[in-house]
Amino acid sequence: MLRKNPTLRHILGRAAWYFVTFLVAVTVNFFLPRLGDANPIDAILAKTNAGDSAGAREKEEAYLRQFGLAEVDAQGKVIRTADGKPVRTGLGKQFVSYLGLTLQGDLGTSFLQFPKPVSEIIKDALPWTLCLQLPTIIFGWLVGNLLGALAAYKRGVFDRIIYPLALLVSAVPAFCVGILMVYYFGIKLEWFPAVGGYDAGTTPALSSDFLSSAAYYYVMPFLSIFMIVVGGQSIGMRSMVIYELGTDYVKYAKLLGIKENKILLYTFRNAMLPQLTGLALALGAMVGGALITEIIFSYPGLGMAILTAIQGNDYPVITGCTLLITVCVLVANFSVDILVGLLDPRIRAAQAAESN
Amino acid sequence: MQLVKGLFKIPAFLLGLFLFAATLALAFLGPLVFHVDVSTRVGDPYMAPSAAHWLGTDHLGVDMLSMLVMGLRASLYVGFLAGVVATIVGTLIGVYGGYKGGLLDDILTVLTNLFLVIPTLIVLILLSSSMDKGRSLTLIALIIGGTTWTWSARAVRAQSSSLRARDHVALARINGFSTLEIVLEQILPYLLSYIFMVFILQTATAILTEATISMLGLGPYDSISLGKILNDAKTNEALIGGKWWAFMPAMVLVTVIAFSLYVINTAMEGVFNPRLRK
C-alpha cells in the first residue's frame, strides 16, 4: 500500500522523523539542566535542608518522593544512609521515570509553588500568550504580505518608503520596540497602562469590567509585536514577488500577451507558498516567540512564568515550559512539511518519482 | 576587487559601516576620552545625567557611561566569539557535507536538521539555568556559537554542493588534485564572500541572543553586558520609574549594532548575489 501511495509514505516518514526529534528534545530537556554546577537536585535539597524540625523533614520526604530523587523502600519511605542523608536515585533511573511521565503528559510539580502541578501553572499562563499572539501573527501576516506585494509590484515611491521602514523595524530587536512603547506611551504620555495584563482591581473572569481592562492593557503589547511581524513578512513577500516577476514564465506570459492582472495572479500565488510556510512556522514559534516582549510589559503569559521560574530555580516549571515550546515548534514544522508536500506540485512530483 | 569597490559606492553599506565603527570607537576609544570605572559608587542610585556623569548613575549609583562602555565591550566580545565559533563549525560541516557527501554527510545533515528544529533559545535557557558560578561571558558566547552554527552549516552546505557540480571543480578532480586542494583552491574562494556574510549575521544574532538571555535573568555572572544593564533596569524599576538613562542608551547601542550589521549584510548580498543585482 505504501509503495502505491507516495503521499502517505511521505507523511509517515516525516512523522517518524519528528518523533525521533521529539525524543531528542525530551532528552535534552532532562539532561541539560543537570549538566552545570547549579542543578535542580541541589536546588531542591538546599531548599529542604533549611530546617531540622519535623515539619522540614516531612517536607523533604514529600519532595524527594514527588520528584523521584531518592530511593524508596516497599512502604514508600525514603531510604537513608547512617547519617540521615537520603540515598539518591541514579540519573539513568530518574530519566526513565521522567520519560514515562512526560509521555503521559505529566510535567511534574513546581518547586516554588509546591504542590501546584506545572501543568496548572502553564494552564494559567498559556491563554494570555495565545490571546496576545494568535491575532497579532495572523493579522500582521496579512498586512505584511499585502504591503510587501505592493512594494514589489509598484516599486517607485511605495518601495522607497515601505521597504526601508520594514527593514528598520525588523532590524530593531523586539524588546526595544517594547521598551520604547512602555516608556513613551505608558510612562511619559500615560496613554496606556505601562505594564500588566489587567487592572489590579479586577480578577480574571468573563465580566465586562475585566474584559474592558484587559483590552486596554492589550493595545501596547499587541502593537509592539504587530509592527515586527508586518516588517518581517513584508520584506519576505517583497523579495519573493520581485524574484517571481523576473522569472522566465512571466516573461513568456508577457510575450504571449496575457493580461497583466492574470500574470500578477500567477506570480502572487507562487510567491505565497513560502509565505504560507512562514505563517505556519510563526504560529508554531508563537508560544515561545514573545517571551521578552511579555517580560517587558509584565504580561501574565508564559514569558513571565519562565522568568519567575528562572529567578527561583524552579526547574520543573522551566523544563515544562521549554518542552511545551519545543513541541509547538515541532508540530508546526511537521505541518509545514506535510502542507508543502500537498500544495507544491514540484515536491509532489519528486515524491512520486522517489517511489518508482 | 571590482565588486568590493562597488560596495563602497552603496550609501546603505557606508551607513552601516559608519555606525558599526562608531560603536567600536565608543567601546575602545571611549576610555581615552572619559574616565571609566564600574567598581565604585560615585553617587546616589539613579542620579539624572549631569556634567560630571553624562549618563547619570545606575541602581547602585555607579556611573552609567562606564557601565555602558564595559557592557558594550562584553556584547561585542560575545558577538565576535560566538560568530567565529558558529561560522567555523558551520563552514567546516557545510563544506565537507556539500562537497564530500556520503554517510558522514547524511549523519551531519540529520544532526543539523534536528537542532535547527529544536529552538536555540530553549537549549540556551536550559543550559544557562544549570550554570550558576560557571556562567561566564566566554561560556555564554561559546554556548551561543555552539547552538547557532546549524543555520550557517545548512546555508554553506547548499552553496558548496552547487559548486561541486561546476566544470572547474570537475577539471581539478580529473587532474588528480586531492580533496583538500580542491576545497581550498576551487571551493572556498567562491564561498568567501558568502561565509563573511554568514559571519556578520551570526555576530548580530549572537549579540541579540546575549541580550535576550540576559533579560531572562540568565546573564553572565562575571561581567556587565548590554543585556544585563537592560535586565537590571527592568528588575530595579527604572523602566516604570521613567529613568530613561538607565535603559535607553543600552537599548540604542544594541539596536545600532544589530541594525548596522544587518544593513552591511543586505548591501553585500545585493553586490555579491548576481540574482539580486539589477
pLDDT band per the 50, 70, 90 thresholds, residue A47? low
Facing A318 at nearest CB: one of B129, B230, B244? B129
Query: Which whole-number Å values give the CA distances from B145 to A174, B150, B205, in the listed order?
Result: 21, 10, 10
**The pLDDT value given to residue B69:** 92
Interface probe for A, chosen from B116, B117, B236, B252 (most Cβ of A below 10 Å), is: B117
Looking at chain A, the whole-number percentage of residues with pLDDT higher than 90 is 2
pLDDT cut 90: percent of chain B above it: 21
Q: Looking at residue A54, what is its pLDDT?
A: 60
Q: Provide the pLDDT confidence category of residue B277 given band limits of 50, 70 and 90.
A: very low
What dotted CATH number matches A118-354? Answer: 1.10.3720.10
Contact B128, B218 (CB under 8 A): yes
CA atoms of A292 and A299, how far apart (whole Å): 10
Residue B17: pLDDT band by 50, 70, 90 thresholds? very high
Predicted confidence band of residue A37 (pLDDT cuts 50, 70, 90): low
CA distance A304 to chain B (A): 9
Number of CB pairs, chain A paired with chain B, less than 8 A apart = 129
Interface with B, mutate which of A247, A322, A323 (most B CBs under 10 A)? A322
pLDDT (0 to 100) of residue A224: 87
For an interface test with A, the pick among B19, B112, B129 (most A C-beta atoms closer than 10 Å) comes out as B129
CA distance A340 to A273: 8
Domain that holds residue B177: 56-272
Give the closest-approach CA distance of A60 to chain B in angstroms. Answer: 22
Residue A55 confidence (pLDDT): 61
Nearest to B126 among A24, A32, A311 (CB): A32
Does residue B127 sit within a domain? Answer: yes
With respect to residue B233, please indicate whether it lies within any of the assigned structural domains.
Answer: yes
Instruction: Measure the CA–CA gap between B94 and B114, rounded to whole angstroms.
Output: 15
* Distance from the A73 Cα atom to the nearest Cα atom in chain B, whole angstroms: 30
pLDDT reported for residue B71: 92
For this complex, say whether ipTM is above 0.85. no
Closest approach of chain B CAs to the CA of A34, in angstroms? 6
Tell me the chain B residues in contact with residue A24 when contact means C-beta distances shorter than 8 Å: 114, 118
Q: Where are the domains of chain A?
A: 13-103, 118-354
Q: Quick one: pLDDT at residue B183?
A: 83
- Average confidence (pLDDT) over B166-180: 85
Residues of chain B contacting A296 with CB distance shorter than 8 Å: 234, 239
SS (H, E, C) chain A: CCCCCHHHHHHHHHHHHHHHHHHHHHHHHHHHHHCCCCCHHHHHHHHHCCCCCHHHHHHHHHHHHHCCCECECCCCCECECCCCCECECCHHHHHHHHHHHHHCCCCCECCCCCCCEHHHHHHHHHHHHHHHHHHHHHHHHHHHHHHHHHHHHHCHHHHHHHHHHHHHHHHCCHHHHHHHHHHHHHHHCCCCCCCCCCCCCCCCCCCHHHHHHHHHHHHHHHHHHHHHHHHHHHHHHHHHHHHHHCCHHHHHHHHHCCCHHHHHHHHHHHHHHHHHHHHHHHHHHHHHHCHHHHHHCCCCCHHHHHHHHHHCCCHHHHHHHHHHHHHHHHHHHHHHHHHHHHHCHHHHHHHHHHHC
Nearest to A36 among B134, B234, B266 (CB): B134
Binding-face residues of A in 253-312 toward B, CB within 8 A: 285, 288, 291-292, 295-296, 306-307, 310-311
- Is the sign of the CA dihedral A165, A167, A168, A170 positive or negative? positive
Q: Decide: residue A62, CB within 10 A, 0-12 exposed, 13-18 middle, 19+ buried.
A: middle
Chain A residues within an 8 Å CB radius of B123: 28, 32
Q: How far apart (Å, rounded) are the C-alpha atoms in residues A62 and A324?
A: 26
C-alpha cell at B79: 558577538
Residue A58 pLDDT exceeds 70: no
Identity of the residue numbered A92: G
| Closest CB to B242 among A187, A295, A329 | A187
Contacts of A176 in chain B (CB under 8 A): 251, 254-255
- The fraction of chain A above a pLDDT of 70, given in percent, is 80
- Which CATH number fits the domain that encloses residue B214? 1.10.3720.10
Asked if residue B272 has pLDDT above 70, the reply is yes
CB atoms within 10 A of CB A220: 25
pLDDT, residue B278, reads 42
**Helix (H) or strand (E) segment spanning residue B105:** helix B102-117
Query: Range with the lowest mean pLDDT among A39-48, B127-136, B268-277?
Result: A39-48
Of the candidate ranges A347-356, B33-42, B167-176, B242-251, the one whose mean pLDDT is the lowest? A347-356
Yes or no, beta carbons of A24 and B114 under 8 Å apart: yes
Taking only the tens place, the pLDDT of each residue in B99-158 is: 887 788 888 888 888 877 777 788 888 888 777 666 888 988 998 998 888 888 888 888
pLDDT > 70? residue A165: yes
B186 domain-assigned: yes
From the list A197, A288, A293, the residue with the least C-alpha distance to B234 is: A293
User: A86 has which bridge partners?
Assistant: A80
Contact A306 B215 (CB under 8 A): no
Chain A residues touching B266 at Cβ < 8 A: 167
* CA dist., res. B185 & res. B188, Å (int): 6
Among the listed residues B209, B262, B151, B116, the one whose alpha carbon sits nearest the alpha carbon of residue A284? B116
Domain count, chain B: 1
Residue among B15, B110, B125, B240 with most chain A CBs within 10 A, to mutate: B125
Contacts of B234 in chain A (CB under 8 A): 295-296
Residue B275: name the closest of A242, A261, A40 by CA: A242
